[in-house]
Amino acid sequence: MTDLTQLNLADARDGLAKKQFSAVELTQAHIDRVSASSALNAYVLETPEKALAMAAESDAKIAAGEARPLEGLPIGVKDLFCTKGVRTTACSNILGDFTPPYESTVTQNLWNDGAVMLGKLNNDEFAMGSSNETSRFGPVVNPWKAGDTALVPGGSSGGSSAAVAARLGIAATATDTGGSIRQPAAFTGTVGLKPTYGRCSRWGIVAFASSFDQAGPITHTVRDAAMMLSSMASFDKRDTTSVERDVPNYEAALTGDIKGLRVGIPQEYRVDNMPAEIEKLWQQGIEWLKAAGAEIVDVSLPHTKYALPAYYIIAPAEASSNLARYDGVRYGARQQGTDIDDMYAQTRAAGFGDEVKRRVMIGTYALSAGYYDAYYVKALQVRRLIAEDFTKAYEKCDVLLTPTTPSAAFEIGKNVEDPLEMYLNDVFTVTVNLAGLPGISVPAGLDGDGLPLGLQLIGQAFGEETLLRTAGVLEQAAGFDAQPQDWWSA
Amino acid sequence: MAENKNLISGATGDWEIVLGLEVHAQVASKAKLFSGAATEFGAEPNSQVSLVDAAMPGMLPVINWFCVEQAVRTGLGLKAQINNYSVFDRKNYFYPDLPQGYQISQFQQPIVGEGAIEIDLADGAVKEIGIERLHLEQDAGKSLHDQHPNMSFVDLNRSGVALMEIVSNPDMRSAAEAQAYVKKLRAILRYLGTCDGNMEQGSLRADVNVSVRKPGDELGTRCEIKNVNSIRFIGQAIEYEARRQVDLIEDGGTVEQQTRLFDPKTGETRAMRSKEEAHDYRYFPDPDLLPLEFSQEFVDEIAKDLPELPDEKKARFINDYGLTPYDAGVLVGEAENAAFFESAAEGQDAKAVANMVIGSVFAGLNKADLDIADSPVSAAQVGQLVGLIADDTVSGRSAKEVFELMFEDGPDQGKNPAVIIEEKGLKQVTDTGAIEAAVDEVIDANPDKVAQAKERPKMAGWFVGQVMQATGGKANPQAVNKLVMLKLGLE
Q: DSSP string covering A216-265, please?
A: EEEESSHHHHHHHHHHH----TT-TTS-------GGGG--S--TT-EEEE
Q: Containing H/E element for B242? A: helix B231-250
Q: How far is CA B171 from CA B128, B175, B177, B447, in A?
A: 8, 12, 9, 67
* Residue A421 neighbours by CB distance under 10 Å: 13
Q: B124 vs A8, which has greater pLDDT? A: A8
Residues in chain A with CB shorter than 8 Å from the CB of B290 are 240-241
Euclidean distance between CA atoms A310 and A287, whole angstroms: 33
Compute the nearest-CA separation of A184 from chain B (Å): 23
Quick check: is A57 in a domain?
Answer: yes
**What pLDDT score was predicted for residue B179?**
96
What interface predicted TM-score (ipTM) does this complex get? Answer: 0.96
- Name A74's bridge partners: A116
Q: Do B102 and A321 touch (CB under 8 A)?
A: yes
**What pLDDT score was predicted for residue B396?**
80
Euclidean distance between CA atoms A337 and A349, whole angstroms: 12
The answer to whether B144 contacts chain A (CB < 8 Å) is: no
Quick one: which of B58, B55, B88 has its CA closest to A215?
A: B58
**What pLDDT score was predicted for residue B413?**
58
- The stretch B175-180 carries a mean pLDDT of 96
Euclidean distance between CA atoms A9 and A12, whole angstroms: 5
| Range name among A39-53, A74-88, B431-445 with the lowest pLDDT average | B431-445
Euclidean distance between CA atoms B223 and B245, whole angstroms: 9
Residues in chain B with CB shorter than 8 Å from the CB of A349 are none
**What pLDDT score was predicted for residue B487?**
82
Give the count of alpha carbons within 13 A of B291, CB side only. Answer: 11
Q: Tell me which amino acid residue B103 is.
A: Q
- Name B153's bridge partners: B144
Look at phi and psi of residue B441 and say left if phi exceeds 0, alpha if psi is from -120 to 50, else beta.
Answer: alpha
Euclidean distance between CA atoms B174 and B231, whole angstroms: 13
Quick one: which of A320, A409, A351 has its CA closest to A139?
A: A409
Relative orientation angle of helices A222-232 and A464-478, to the nearest 10 degrees: 160
Compute the nearest-CA separation of A241 from chain B (Å): 7
- The stretch B413-436 carries a mean pLDDT of 78
Relative orientation angle of helices B460-470 and B477-487, to the nearest 10 degrees: 130
Residue of B nearest to A237 (CA): B62
Compute the nearest-CA separation of A343 from chain B (Å): 11
| Range name among A6-10, A311-315, B18-22, B405-409 with the lowest pLDDT average | B405-409
Q: B466 vs B2, which has greater pLDDT? A: B466
pLDDT band with cut points at 50, 70 and 90 for residue B466:
confident
* Residue A98 neighbours by CB distance under 10 Å: 19
Q: Do B288 and A368 touch (CB under 8 A)?
A: no
The secondary structure of residue A34, as a DSSP letter, is H
Q: How far is CA B298 from CA B76, B82, B133, B192, B463, in A?
A: 12, 11, 20, 17, 70
Contact between residue A228 and residue B85 where contact means Cβ atoms under 8 Å apart: no
Compute the nearest-CA separation of B55 from chain A (Å): 7
- Cα dihedral A51, A55, A57, A61 sign: positive
Quick check: is A352 in a domain?
Answer: no
Residue of B nearest to A101 (CA): B51
Q: What is the pLDDT of residues B324-355, one digit of tens each?
A: 988 999 999 999 999 999 999 999 999 999 99
Contact between residue B154 and residue B144 where contact means Cβ atoms under 8 Å apart: yes
Euclidean distance between CA atoms B339 and B332, whole angstroms: 9
Euclidean distance between CA atoms A427 and A438, whole angstroms: 16
Residue A110 has pLDDT above 80, yes or no: yes
**What pLDDT score was predicted for residue B411?**
61
Residue B2 has pLDDT above 60, yes or no: no
Residue A315 has pLDDT above 90, yes or no: yes
Quick one: which of A145, A140, A170 has its CA closest to A157?
A: A140
Residue B473 has pLDDT above 90, yes or no: no
Q: What is the pLDDT of residues B256-311, one digit of tens each?
A: 999 999 999 999 999 988 777 778 999 999 999 999 999 999 999 999 999 999 99
Residues in chain B with CB shorter than 8 Å from the CB of A341 are 94
Instruction: State phi, psi for A464 to the nearest 5 degrees.
Output: -60, -30
Residue of A nearest to B91 (CA): A321
Quick check: is A268 in a domain?
Answer: no
Q: Tell me which amino acid residue B332 is.
A: V
The answer to whether B65 contacts chain A (CB < 8 Å) is: no
The secondary structure of residue A125, as a DSSP letter, is G
Best of B63, B288, B289, B293 to mutate (most A CBs within 10 Å, chain A): B288
Q: Do A207 and B152 touch (CB under 8 A)?
A: no
Euclidean distance between CA atoms B25 and B196, whole angstroms: 8
Q: B398 vs B68, which has greater pLDDT? A: B68
In sequence order, the 6+-apart residues with CB closer than 8 A to the CB of B422 are: none
Q: How far is CA B83 from CA A159, B71, B80, in A?
A: 47, 11, 9
Contact between residue A208 and residue A320 where contact means Cβ atoms under 8 Å apart: no
Instruction: Give A367-371's long-range contacts (Cβ < 8 A, gap of 24+).
Output: A367/A317, A367/A320, A367/A321, A367/B92, A367/B282, A367/B283, A367/B284, A368/B280, A368/B282, A369/B280, A369/B282
Q: Please classify residue A408 by burial: count the beta carbons closer than 10 Å to its beta carbon, then call 0-12 exposed, 13-18 middle and 19+ buried.
A: buried
Q: Please classify residue B25 by burial: count the beta carbons closer than 10 Å to its beta carbon, then call 0-12 exposed, 13-18 middle and 19+ buried.
A: buried
The answer to whether B276 contacts chain A (CB < 8 Å) is: no
Residues in chain A with CB shorter than 8 Å from the CB of B59 are 203-204
**What pLDDT score was predicted for residue A1?**
55
Q: A140 vs B334, which has greater pLDDT? A: A140
Closest CB to A324: pick one of B56, B57, B102: B102
Closest CB to B58: pick one of A206, A318, A372: A206
CA angle A262, A266, A272 (to 5 degrees): 150
pLDDT band with cut points at 50, 70 and 90 for residue B412:
low
Best of B153, B284, B289 to mutate (most A CBs within 10 Å, chain A): B284
User: Any alpha helices (H) in B93-230, and if so which ranges?
Assistant: 175-192
- What part of B 154-213 touches A (C-beta under 8 Å)? 154
Which domain, by its residues, includes A224?
7-259+469-478
Residues in chain B with CB shorter than 8 Å from the CB of A339 are none
Q: Do B282 and A238 touch (CB under 8 A)?
A: no
Quick one: which of B41, B138, B39 has its CA closest to B97?
A: B138
Q: Do A344 and B58 touch (CB under 8 A)?
A: no
Burial readout B230-261 (b: 16 or more C-beta within 10 A, e: otherwise): bbebbbbbbbbbbebbbeebeeeeebeebbbe
Q: What is the pLDDT of residues B437-452, one digit of tens each?
A: 888 888 888 888 888 8
Q: Do A367 and B58 touch (CB under 8 A)?
A: no
Euclidean distance between CA atoms A243 and A201, whole angstroms: 9
- The stretch A470-482 carries a mean pLDDT of 97
Quick check: is A160 in a domain?
Answer: yes
A396 three-state secondary structure:
coil
Q: B359 vs B411, which has greater pLDDT? A: B359
Domains of chain B and CATH, by start: 2-303 (no CATH), 308-424 (no CATH), 432-487 (1.10.10)
Q: Please classify residue B329 by burial: count the beta carbons closer than 10 Å to its beta carbon, then call 0-12 exposed, 13-18 middle and 19+ buried.
A: middle
Euclidean distance between CA atoms B286 and B264, whole angstroms: 37
Total tally of structural domains belonging to chain A: 1
Q: Do A325 and B57 touch (CB under 8 A)?
A: yes
The answer to whether B56 contacts chain A (CB < 8 Å) is: yes
Residue A283 has pLDDT above 80, yes or no: yes
Residues of A recognised as catalytic: 78, 156, 180
Instruction: State phi, psi for B274 to the nearest 5 degrees.
Output: -90, 175
Quick one: which of A266, A366, A273, A280 has its CA closest to A315?
A: A366
Euclidean distance between CA atoms A269 and A385, whole angstroms: 17
Euclidean distance between CA atoms B486 and B490, whole angstroms: 6
Q: Do A340 and B62 touch (CB under 8 A)?
A: no
Q: Containing H/E element for B273? A: strand B268-274
Residues in chain B with CB shorter than 8 Å from the CB of A323 are 101
* C-alpha of B72 from chain center: 22
Q: Do B56 and A329 touch (CB under 8 A)?
A: no
In sequence order, the 6+-apart residues with CB closer than 8 A to the CB of B411 are: B375, B376, B377, B378
Quick one: which of A65, A110, A102, A71 has its CA closest to A85?
A: A102
Residues in chain A with CB shorter than 8 Å from the CB of B96 are 327, 329, 340
Residues in chain B with CB shorter than 8 Å from the CB of A331 are 56
* Residue B203 neighbours by CB distance under 10 Å: 22
A158 three-state secondary structure:
helix
Quick check: is A354 in a domain?
Answer: no
Contact between residue A133 and residue A152 where contact means Cβ atoms under 8 Å apart: yes
Quick one: which of B378, B364, B380, B381 has its CA closest to B417?
A: B381
Euclidean distance between CA atoms A437 and B397, whole angstroms: 84
Q: Do A241 and B94 touch (CB under 8 A)?
A: no
**What pLDDT score was predicted for residue B346?**
94
Q: What is the pLDDT of residues B207-225, one digit of tens each?
A: 999 999 999 999 999 999 9
Residues in chain A with CB shorter than 8 Å from the CB of B283 are 367
**What pLDDT score was predicted for residue B1?**
46
Would you call the peptide bond into B143 cis, given omega within 30 degrees of 0 as the criterion? no
Q: Do A203 and B59 touch (CB under 8 A)?
A: yes
Q: Containing H/E element for A456? A: strand A452-458
Q: What is the pLDDT of residues A210-222, one digit of tens each?
A: 999 999 999 999 9
Q: What is the mean pLDDT of chain B?
A: 91
Q: Do A340 and B96 touch (CB under 8 A)?
A: yes
The answer to whether B94 contacts chain A (CB < 8 Å) is: yes
Q: Tell me which amino acid residue B172 is.
A: M
Residue B19 has pLDDT above 90, yes or no: yes
Size of interface A-B (CB pairs under 8 A): 96
Residue B432 has pLDDT above 80, yes or no: no
CATH number at residue A117: 3.90.1300.10
Residue B410 has pLDDT above 90, yes or no: no
Residues in chain A with CB shorter than 8 Å from the CB of B87 are none
Quick check: is A343 in a domain?
Answer: no
Q: What is the mean pLDDT of chain A?
A: 97
- What part of B 22-51 touches A (C-beta under 8 Å)? 51
Best of A327, A346, A377, A378 to mutate (most B CBs within 10 Å, chain B): A327
- The stretch A396-422 carries a mean pLDDT of 93
Quick one: which of A390, A401, A386 has its CA closest to A467?
A: A401
- The stretch B18-35 carries a mean pLDDT of 98
Q: How far is CA B95 from CA A284, A414, B279, in A?
A: 56, 39, 12
Closest CB to A102: pick one of B51, B62, B100: B51
Quick check: is A340 in a domain?
Answer: no
Quick check: is A218 in a domain?
Answer: yes
Best of B52, B59, B63 to mutate (most A CBs within 10 Å, chain A): B59
Compute the nearest-CA separation of B287 from chain A (Å): 5
